[in-house]
Amino acid sequence: MAGRHTIPKFDRILLIRCGSDVEDRLWDFPAAPEDSSNLVFLHGDAVESADRLKTLAVRSHAASFQVCRTSWCRRHPGRAPAPPFELSTLTRLIASIAAGAGRVDSDGLSGACCSQGSGDGGYLLEIAFAPDSPRQAEETVEWLLAAASLELDVRVLFSAGGLAHLRGEFAPAWRQFIDFDLAGLYAQTGNRVDPLDVDARCIEPSDAIGLRGDRRQVILL
């Protein structure tokens, strides 16, 4: 239909947000079999790796290599990434995941996570790192903005260092999701008594395990 964009569906998606050891992650990513398609998507600081990964990317035979347009343009205004990398958007990535990606490997800022698309619930974004800059915090909020713009059932779990997103200067951006009732925010606080500046639901580690198990996809940011 004219004016309507097709959302591609991938069998496996590798999301890289961490700027270090990107070569190793890409090297370990399997080539896509002939009848399937894979996607490698760089976001945040990881987009800095696109230029030096181009040769490795060509050799690894993944179907598509994309970088987040917003992340890229913040760091490299006025220039495109080297092929085979191409610009795409966070919203398109999330739409592809929602279209039924078989497996999502997320290499986040606090570790790696593999999600097989099981469970009946919606999506869980897990944040376990403290932002080291306003830009890093902003690029984390943009995940939930993109998911909310698609009206997906999304919850966000903050744990460990990730609780820093819910305090001080970083807190206001997260409040909008509660004020507009767009997503459930959960804070795995355990025995911590430091107050949060966002009215997230405080849960125990055992509840967090249940939350992860209930979700269709878990993406570790």
Partner 1 sequence: MSDPSRDSDRPAIGADGHLLDRNGWTDAVARQLAARDGVELGEMHWWLIRFVRDHFDRYGNPPLMRMAVAALRESGVEDASSRTLYRLFPDGPIRLACRYGGLPAPESCI
Q: How far is the CB of 158 from partner 1 (least distance, A)?
A: 17
Residue 32, classed as helix, strand or coil, is coil
List the structure tokens of 168.
């001080």
Q: How many Cβ atoms sit within 10 Å of the Cβ of residue 14?
A: 24
Residue 120 as a binder of partner 1 (CB under 8 A): the answer is no
- Of the two residues 34 and 151, which places its CB atom closer to partner 1 in the complex? 151
Q: Which is nearer to partner 1, 68 or 127 (CB)?
A: 68
Task: Enter the tokens of residue 17.
Answer: 């947000």
CA-based max dimension of the chain: 55
Taking alpha carbons only, the member of 12, 31, 22 closest to residue 49 is 22
Nearer to partner 1, 70 or 96 (CB): 70
Helix (H) or strand (E) holding 54: helix 50-60
- What is the nearest approach in angstroms of partner 1 to the Cβ of residue 15? 16
Question: Between 34 and 73, how does the x/- string for binding to partner 1 read (CB under 8 A)?
Answer: ----------------------------------xxx--x
Q: Does 216 help bind partner 1 (rule: CB under 8 A)?
A: no
CB of 51 to partner 1, least distance (A): 20
**Nearest-angstrom CA–CA distance, 87 and 42:** 10
Smallest separation, CB 88 to partner 1 (Å): 9
Q: What is the DSSP letter of 189?
A: -
Residue reference for tokens 């609780």: 163
Binding region for partner 1 (CB under 8 A): 68-70, 73-74, 89-91, 138, 141-142, 145-146, 148-149, 151, 172-173, 175-176, 180, 182
